């Protein structure tokens, strides 16, 4: 059977931009096709296609449709309002070194970006006795969306690493989930605080589900702790590297694929 042609990424326009916290930029985008997406897909990832600085809209659209492929990075739907055709995307502001962070810093109302996806949400059903959530700022959108989707009687613990105390956000976590905000002031320095705190938790006595994501070295250590040492089934453990110190996303994704072989 012939492979169907790949659909070109869809186009969305920037509506508004705000700094939700000191190092987190929220960009709201709108498009008519967003009205066809499902409500409740907060936490799903998608591919963001990014125009170059000073590129015209026409040149960007031509690249999206015919190549060469523009810069592409992976982001999370923080909020979706299908009735309004809007999504909110929270970008870690880590300066102008990466095309996505730089775009979030410079974009203004009316600018274009491309979208492919969305992928699946990370925890589709909630059936655990206890939940373990851990995230750095890149994974705060998925962690917050997951905490907000949990049943209100859920129990567990969340370790959320932020760059400054001003990066703490309001997250509507269930009362039974202890949320700890940890300061990790230089994301380019590896720290083990989340790993140490999770390793110190009592042994699990019932089903556990996890939503853990962030910088790759923390993820490696947590995968070892949660899956290999504590025996949580892989199907219950969302544990994913979202970026790696010193690598741009394409290099990080290639490293992940090589490790998975």
Ligand X SMILES: Cc1cc2nc3c(=O)[nH]c(=O)nc-3n(C[C@H](O)[C@H](O)[C@H](O)COP(=O)(O)OP(=O)(O)OC[C@H]3O[C@@H](n4cnc5c(N)ncnc54)[C@H](O)[C@@H]3O)c2cc1C
Question: Interface with ligand X includes 76 (CB under 6 A)?
Answer: yes
CB 157 within 8 A of CB 133: yes
Nearest residue to 183 (alpha-carbon basis) of 213, 215, 217, 159: 159
Residue bearing tokens 């072989």: 261
In the complex with ligand X, which residue's Cβ is closer, 64 or 184? 184
Q: How far apart are CA 197 and CA 177, in angstroms?
A: 15
Min separation Cβ 94 and ligand X, Å: 4
Residue bearing tokens 């760059």: 163
Nearest residue to 149 (alpha-carbon basis) of 40, 237, 239, 44: 40
In the complex with ligand X, which residue's Cβ is closer, 64 or 139? 139
Question: Interface with ligand X includes 97 (CB under 6 A)?
Answer: yes
Helices 249-260 + 216-223 axis angle, to 10? 20
Identified binder of ligand X from the candidate list 141, 147, 177, 216, rule CB under 6 A: 141
Min separation Cβ 49 and ligand X, Å: 12
Stretch near ligand X under the rule CB under 6 A, chosen from 9-17, 86-94, 125-133, 153-161? 86-94
* Residue facing ligand X at closest CB distance: 98
Cis peptide before 94 (omega within 30 of 0): no
Question: Interface with ligand X includes 243 (CB under 6 A)?
Answer: yes
Q: What DSSP character marks residue 21? A: E
In the complex with ligand X, which residue's Cβ is closer, 78 or 130? 78
Question: Interface with ligand X includes 156 (CB under 6 A)?
Answer: no
**Which positions lie near ligand X, rule CB under 6 A?**
45, 73-76, 90-92, 94, 97-101, 138, 141, 187, 242-249
């Amino acid at each position: 059977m012939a492979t169907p042609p790949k659909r070109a990424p869809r186009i969305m326009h920037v509506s508004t931009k705000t700094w939700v916290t000191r190092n987190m930029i929220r960009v709201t985008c709108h498009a008519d096709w967003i009205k066809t997406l499902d409500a409740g897909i907060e936490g799903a990832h998608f591919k963001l296609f990014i125009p170059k600085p000073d590129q015209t809209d026409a040149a960007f659209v031509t690249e999206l449709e015919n190549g060469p492929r523009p810069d592409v990075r992976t982001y999370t739907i923080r909020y979706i309002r299908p009735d309004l055709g809007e999504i909110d995307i929270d970008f870690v502001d880590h300066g102008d070194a990466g095309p996505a962070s730089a775009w979030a810093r410079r974009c203004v109302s009316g600018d274009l970006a491309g979208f492919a996806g969305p992928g699946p949400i990370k925890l589709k059903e909630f059936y655990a006795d206890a939940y373990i959530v851990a995230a750095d700022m890149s994974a705060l959108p998925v962690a917050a969306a997951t905490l907000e989707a949990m049943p209100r009687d859920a129990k567990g613990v969340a370790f959320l690493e932020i760059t400054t105390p001003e990066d703490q956000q309001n997250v509507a976590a269930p009362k039974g989930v202890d949320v700890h905000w940890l300061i990790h002031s230089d994301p380019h320095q590896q720290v083990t605080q989340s790993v140490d705190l999770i390793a110190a938790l009592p042994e699990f006595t019932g089903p556990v589900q996890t939503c853990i994501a962030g910088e790759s070295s923390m993820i490696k250590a947590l995968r070892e702790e949660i899956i290999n040492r504590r025996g949580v089934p892989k199907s219950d453990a969302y544990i994913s590297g979202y970026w790696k110190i010193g690598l741009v996303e394409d290099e990080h994704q290639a490293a992940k694929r090589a490790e998975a072989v």
